[in-house]
Amino acid sequence: MNPLLPHPAEIVEKHSFGPDIHAYRMVLRDPAARPLFDFRPGQFNMVYVPGVGEVAISISSDPEEETLEHTIRIVGRTTRVIAEKGVGDVLGLRGPYGNGWPLENARFKDLLIVTGGLGCAPVSGAIDYVFRRRANYGHVTILHGVKKAADLIHRERFEIWRREPDTTVMLTSDQPDRAWKDRTGVVTELFEEVAFDPIRTQVLMCGPEVMMRYASHILEQRGLSRERMFVSIERNMRCAVGLCGHCQLGPEFVCKDGPIFRLSELDRFFRTGHL
Amino acid sequence: MPRSPSDGDEANRISASRFLARPRLQELIDALRGRGYRVIAPVPRDGAVVYAEVESADALPRGLRESQAPGRYRLEAATGDRVFDVVNGPGALKPFFFAPRETLLQVRTDAAGFEASETLPETPPTAFLGVRACDLAALGVQDRIFRRGRFPDAWYEARRRDVLVVAVNCVRSAATCFCTSFGTGPEAREGHDLVLTEQEDGFVARSGTPAGAEVLDGLSLPPAGAERVEAEHGALVACAEGMERGIDTEGFPELLYARLEHPRWAETGERCLSCGNCTAVCPTCFCHDESDEPALDGSGAVRVREWDSCFDRDHAQVHGLNFRPHIAHRYRQWLVHKLGAWIDQFGESGCVGCGRCITWCPVGIDITEEVAALRTEAP
Ligand SMILES: Cc1cc2nc3c(=O)[nH]c(=O)nc-3n(C[C@H](O)[C@H](O)[C@H](O)COP(=O)(O)OP(=O)(O)OC[C@H]3O[C@@H](n4cnc5c(N)ncnc54)[C@H](O)[C@@H]3O)c2cc1C
Ligand code: SF4
Ligand code: SF4
Ligand code: FES
């Protein structure tokens, strides 16, 4: 089958987290196509709105569930139309694309998850995946930083994760407002407050590249090797099949070689800006 | 050291070579058309040569040659009646396979959802006559991307499937050519069904595939003979050795990666207009956009693919952030991709040395000069 053909999928459930974030649970019109969509956390689908466009969206459901969930932040032309969709509406899906987080080889290791900025959709599905298999992982530390307090979307999720055993969750804001009760400062300042064993720890990072560049630098000084750090890279995506050229970062096509990279492999393409 | 034209097995080359007198070129065109091919060849049009359909050999650029320089292209009258003396024009084979704009999908919508189907082009069998070695190499580069990747492209494949290529070896190069830097020319090496080398009174002709051999045999041509084949060889060596421009690719891609912060990028970024001409004329550039165009009657949409360029301001734009905000970033992306990252991605260079980006750049930015500057370490 042509890889650019979207499969119709019906929205069977919609959860809104504020006006700008909606989670859509979808069922493929053709149940026989479901095995084509078997995925790993961190992989994404192209979500298609007929007559409007296509956007790359991580799969936020668990790989063992039958339905597929996408949690979508409304930012622009295509997502604004998706916002109007509800139960019974049909969107297109093609995928899954990308490589996913290295969670299998992280078994029994401690996880240090560093996220920043507005949307960290590619990592929250992975966190849920880990907590559903809690016994397989060691200590989980989640550090999340936002600029303004209002940028913290989806706070409920952090509160749920905070209640998991053997888990540390810390939130920080650069420009907190009066209601903000968490930390103040940038996310990298939280590193001073957390202890980790550089040998047992695997790092997952997602957020602005400047933040991840700085964070990886500090973590390296703390003895963590770049081999153990994984970053989720964001780039413009049109085709997701390595042909349109939009998602390139140095020699990598983020859509098929990524979006998750071992930092040691990206090396200077990560350190040099504006690539 | 430029690679000299293959002198491989001299005796074989002589026995395989036929002679096609220039007046008989029409017979070759007729033979191709007789086999059901439309014939596409270089023809002069609006002051340049372009690839277009021909029925007659008279349509070819007879007695013309071009002069090229950074930012400059002129067709000029030449003495004699050679038909393949114009090295190239702005267009390569690329648009014939990777269309500048095409419909990918037809999408019908109704209350129950939508239904999408692919709209594959129906292209007649096509024979290309007069394809230069660099353009033939570029076709191989695009084949690697669109035919042999993890996701072969059905639209490209539909156009590419039934094609016959009659290459022409270059006995004259433009001042902007540097194919010897990549070993892609001046002699066609692979991917052609037939190859011609033009001489004073006609062409030395050889086949490269059984399909080409069949066409050649059908013409019942006399042997070219040792003298013509030696003259051919001499002309190809002279053409290779006469090439003025070049790129030293030693150490690529690593050397370019080590120059990502070179001050030259900012300097060239000041000159570059970000017009994207270089990517449009480049026979290997493959960037494109995909977008939906809704039907006016609300019955659905078509999904369209169109060439795009890394010089476009929005190429690296995501919501709220442009990864390459300045022209210097875009020029760096183009050059480092073309000459460096491409090697990591596809196992070969993305440049075949055709020189088009030099000629058609409105401000005359010269990729060979840029590389020379980048090779020297920043002061
Ligand atoms: C691998 C990957 C996973 C993603 N996962 C999610 C997710 O789970 N949830 C979520 O809300 N968002 C996710 N995004 C971001 C999402 O793709 C963009 O927010 C979306 O494309 C914006 O489209 P738009 O038309 O509404 O915005 P506009 O700003 O109007 O964008 C126009 C076009 O630009 C491109 N574009 C713009 N922003 C981005 C971007 N950030 N990434 C890639 N292409 C972009 C798209 O082709 C888009 O159609 C992901 C992006 C990538 C690359
Ligand atoms: S980069 Fe320039 S010289 Fe090289 S193949 Fe493209 S147009 Fe030709
Ligand atoms: S290098 Fe020349 S042709 Fe290419 S974008 Fe810049 S000005 Fe245009
Ligand atoms: S999104 Fe098209 S090449 Fe990666």
**Domain regions of chain B by residue span:** 7-241, 254-374
pLDDT of residue B379: 66
- The pLDDT of residue A109: 92
Please report which helix (H) or strand (E) contains residue A160, including its range. helix A155-162
Question: Looking at the structure, do residues A92 and A139 belong to the same domain, yes or no?
Answer: no
- Beta bridge partners, B126, equal B38, B163
The CA distance from B312 to B324, in Å, is 10
Mean pLDDT of B330-342: 98
Last residue of a domain, one of A33, A62, A97: A97
Nearest alpha carbon, ligand 2 atom 4: B351
**Cβ pair A177, A167 in contact under 8 A:** no
Pocket probe for ligand 2: among B272, B357, B358, B370, the residue whose CB has the most ligand atoms within 8 Å is B357
In tens, the pLDDT along B193-223 reads 999 999 999 999 999 999 999 999 999 999 9
Is B278 touching ligand 3 by the criterion CB < 6 Å? Answer: yes
Main-chain dihedrals φ then ψ at residue A23, nearest 5 degrees: -105, 125
10 Å CB burial of residue A18 (0-12, 13-18, 19+) is exposed
Q: What confidence score (pLDDT) does residue B8 get?
A: 55
How many contiguous H segments (helices) and E segments (strands) does chain B have? 14, 15
Q: Strand order of the sheet with strand B300-307?
A: B113-118, B101-110, B300-307, B288-294
Q: Tokens standing for B184?
A: 């892609």
Q: Which of A201, A194, A204, A267 is nearest to A230 (CA)?
A: A204
Instruction: Judge: B112–A90 Cβ closer than 8 Å, yes or no.
Output: yes
Question: Are A86 and A139 in the same domain?
Answer: no
The domain boundary residue, chosen from A74, A97, A120: A97
Alpha carbon distance A205, A227 (integer Å): 13
Instruction: Give, in degrees to the nearest 5, the angle at Cα B265 between B259 and B267.
Output: 140
Q: Ligand 1: does its nearest atom lie under 6 Å from the Cβ of A45?
A: no
Q: How far apart are CA A41 and CA A58, in angstroms?
A: 8
Q: Give the number of C-alpha atoms closer than 13 A to the C-alpha of residue B45, restricted to the C-beta side.
A: 12
Give the C-alpha separation, B302 to B107, whole Å: 6
In a domain, A71, yes or no: yes
Q: Are residues A150 and A223 in the same domain?
A: yes
Q: Between chains, do A245 and B310 touch, taking CB under 8 Å as contact?
A: yes
pLDDT of amino acid B24: 97
The ipTM estimated for the assembled molecules is 0.94
- Cα separation, B329 vs B310, in Å, equals 10
Residues A178 and A238 in one domain: yes
Contact B318 A242 (CB under 8 A): no
The answer on A161 and A31 residing in a single domain is: no
B326: pLDDT strictly greater than 60:
yes
Contact A251 B113 (CB under 8 A): no
pLDDT, tens digit, 9 for 90 and up, residues B126-177: 999 999 999 999 999 999 999 999 999 999 999 999 999 999 999 999 999 9
| Structure-block tokens of residue B68 | 């090229």
| Same domain (yes/no): A189, A91 | no
Query: Look-up: residue for tokens 């007929």?
Result: A50
Q: Which of A174, A177, A144, A136 is nearest to A161 (CA)?
A: A144
Contacts of A52 (CB under 8 A, 6+ apart): A77, A78, A81, B292, B294
Is the bond into B186 cis (omega within 30 degrees of 0)?
yes
Mean pLDDT in residue range B34-53: 97
Identify whether residues A152 and A211 lie together within a single domain.
yes
Mark whether A219 and A178 lie in a shared domain. yes
Q: What is the pLDDT of residue A216?
A: 96
**pLDDT at residue B1, as a whole number:** 35
Can you tell me the distance from the alpha carbon of B282 to that of B358, in angstroms, rounded to the nearest whole number?
10
pLDDT at residue number B3 = 43
Q: What is the mean pLDDT of chain A?
A: 94
- B333 has a pLDDT exceeding 60: yes
Residues 6+ apart with CB under 8 A from A147: A117, A173, A174, A175
Helix and strand numbers, DSSP H then E, in chain A: 7, 15
8 Å CB contact between B264 and B370:
yes
Q: What is the mean pLDDT of chain B?
A: 95
8 A C-beta contact, residue A223 and residue A129: no
- Region B301-314: mean pLDDT is 97
If you average pLDDT over residues B42-65, what whole number do you get?
97
Residues of A with CB under 8 A from a CB of B: 2-6, 8, 10, 29, 49-54, 75-76, 90, 92, 234-236, 238-239, 241-246, 248, 250-251, 253, 256, 268-269, 272, 274-275
Check A2 against B300: CB less than 8 A apart: no
Does residue B2 register a pLDDT over 60? no
A125 in the same domain as A67: no
Residue A19: the pLDDT is 87
Kindly give the distance from the C-alpha atom of residue B316 to the centroid of ligand 1, in angstroms, as a whole number: 12
pLDDT of residue A119: 62
- For residue A55, what is the domain's CATH number? 2.40.30.10
Task: Measure the CA–CA gap between A120 and A134, rounded to whole angstroms.
Answer: 21
Query: Based on the structure, what is the number of domains in chain A?
Result: 2
Partners of B261 on chain A (C-beta within 8 Å) are 272
> What H or E segment, with its residue span, contains residue B303?
strand B300-307
Residues of B in contact with A272 (CB under 8 A): 260-261
Q: How far apart are CA B159 and CA B242, in angstroms?
A: 36
Kindly state whether residue A2 falls inside one of the protein's structural domains: no
Cβ of B361 closer than 6 Å to ligand 3, yes or no, is yes
Residues A137 and A21 in one domain: no
Q: Is the CB of B78 under 6 A from ligand 3?
A: no
Backbone angles phi, psi at A203, to 5 degrees: -105, 135
Position A122 scores a pLDDT of 78
According to the model, what pLDDT value does residue B4 have?
Answer: 45
Structure tokens at B205: 């002709």
Res. B7: pLDDT tops 80: no
Tell me which residue has tokens 């990308």.
A98
C-alpha to C-alpha distance for B93 and B136, rounded to whole angstroms: 8
C-alpha B234: how far from its chain's center? Answer: 25
pLDDT of residue A237: 97
Q: What angle do CA B313, B317, B322 make, to 5 degrees?
A: 85
Output the pLDDT for position A5: 96
pLDDT in tens, A186-236: 999 999 999 999 999 999 999 999 999 999 999 999 999 999 999 999 999
Q: Is the peptide bond before B70 cis (omega within 30 degrees of 0)?
A: no
> Pick from A5, A8, A253: which is nearest to B105 by CB?
A5
Q: Which residues of chain A have pLDDT under 50?
A: none
- Give A245's contacts in chain B (Cβ within 8 Å): 286-288, 308, 310
Distance from CA of residue A223 to its chain's centroid?
Answer: 25
Same domain, A91 and A144: no
A35: exposed, middle or buried (Cβ count in 10 Å: 0-12, 13-18, 19+): exposed
State mean pLDDT over B326-352: 98
Three-state secondary structure string covering B326-367: CHHHHHHHHHHHHHHHHHHHHCCCCCCCCCHHHHCCCCCCCH
What ranges in B258-307 are assigned the alpha helix state H? 264-271, 277-281
Task: Give the pLDDT band (50/70/90) at residue B192.
Answer: very high
CATH number of the domain enclosing A241:
3.40.50.80
Residues A46 and A171 occupy one common structural domain: no
Give the separation between CA B130 and CA B247, rounded to whole angstroms. Answer: 26
Q: Strands A229-232 and A90-97: what pairing? A: unpaired
Range of A225's domain? 110-270
Residue A275 lies in a domain: no
